[in-house]
Amino acid sequence: RLRLHDGKLIKDRRYHLRTYPNCFVAKELTDWLIDHKEAPDRETGIRLMQKLMDHYIIHHVCDEHSDYKDAKLLYRFRKDDGTFPLSKDVKVFMRGQSIYEKLVSVEESILKVREENSVKYQRTFLGSEMIDWLIQEGEVENRQEAVELGRALLEHGIIQHVSNRHHFFDSDILYQFWINFRRRRRLTELLNENSSRALSESPDSPFCLRKLNPDPGNTSFLSVQTNKEIKIVSAVRRSSITSLSGNSNAYFSTPPTLVFPPVAECNPKSVLKRPVTNEELLSPGAPYVKKTLTIVGDAVGWGFVVRGGRPCHIQAVDPGGPAAAAGMKVCQFVFSVNGVYVLHLDYQTISSLIMTGPRTLVMEVMEAIE
């Protein structure tokens, strides 16, 4: 965005007797992506900009096109017109980036290479050391506020305990920045983030229900670990699973390696009584209410099944999981994920948004009024 401003591709433009500030022409931008080696061809350039649209970063100036079209149409970065969604997650991310930039720009930074259990870690700091620095720099007013900030940064995957076993505490426990904000990412990396696409040939969602044995009461959820690896874990007796890891903190414990019988895929029948369209959901007076759910993933995952597409719906909820505790129910329709509008997306894309996002998942769902 800043490079486009510098190159004068983003500027005020006049169309049909109206001036649109801070916008760019889609066709010109595609040319720019190719000329500056950000995209090898026009097709890739279009896919890249569609990614930015899907992630609510750019939009058509009149919101008349939900797709990015390689034509003489005007688009704009939401940061330039004040419509970029500053959700709690985004605010925490930006706060973490600001703190990181301040820390790496000073000579005597608390960020150092340190060793623990004969393993060296980059960009590390002690919890108490960070709290002292936050108070000294005026980032917070007291130690309690600093602890709350540190916990928010950890829950959003910005910092972590070096061996991922502890939450953030005012102590001499060693932490590190998990994100290197100064690494310049190429746009094409966006196209490689759909790790869930490898499962797209399956008739089920990547969060699908799988049957482990003939016992009808023992199903499992394909859940996402806090380190984003995908594993099959039992949805039954979650507490006994986490206790096997030898750590009472289920959220941050390292899950054990569980061995199961061969997994047989199944395609459970949809829980919806009938298909529902987006038009029906969004029509004035429709019998649906929107709810916001904040789901903090644990060591097993989030504990729900998403299925279908345009709109997607909740197919199943683990009764002992974080999603159920947050109020998620079957038959709810997924409206947004971490601030991204998703009614028009399929389950593969929604699953990718969830798996590449923070541990704390913010979802808007639409529920039928009984």
232 located within any domain: no
Residues 125 and 163 in one domain: yes
29 located within any domain: yes
pLDDT digits (tens, 9 = 90+) for 45-88: 999 999 999 888 899 999 888 899 999 999 999 988 888 777 77
Judged by phi (left if over 0) then psi (alpha if -120 to 50, else beta), residue 311 lies in beta
Which pLDDT belongs to residue 31? 95
160 located within any domain: yes
Q: Which of these three, 77, 104, 123, is where a domain ends?
A: 77
Closest alpha carbon to 254 in 240, 242, 238: 242
Residues 58 and 130 in one domain: no
CA gap 370, 362 in Å, rounded: 24
259 versus 287: the higher-pLDDT residue is 287
Q: What is the CATH number of the domain that holds 309?
A: 2.30.42.10
Residues 95 and 71 in one domain: no
Q: What is the CATH number of the domain that holds 112?
A: 1.10.10.10
Residues 49 and 9 in one domain: yes
233 located within any domain: no
pLDDT level of residue 299 (50, 70, 90 thresholds): low
* Domain boundaries, position 152: 88-177
Say what the pTM is: 0.44
Q: Which of these three, 34, 57, 77, is where a domain ends?
A: 77
Closest alpha carbon to 60 in 17, 34, 29: 29
341 located within any domain: yes
| Choice among 108-117, 148-157, 160-169, 225-234 with the minimum mean pLDDT | 225-234
Which pLDDT belongs to residue 268? 58
347 located within any domain: yes
244 located within any domain: no
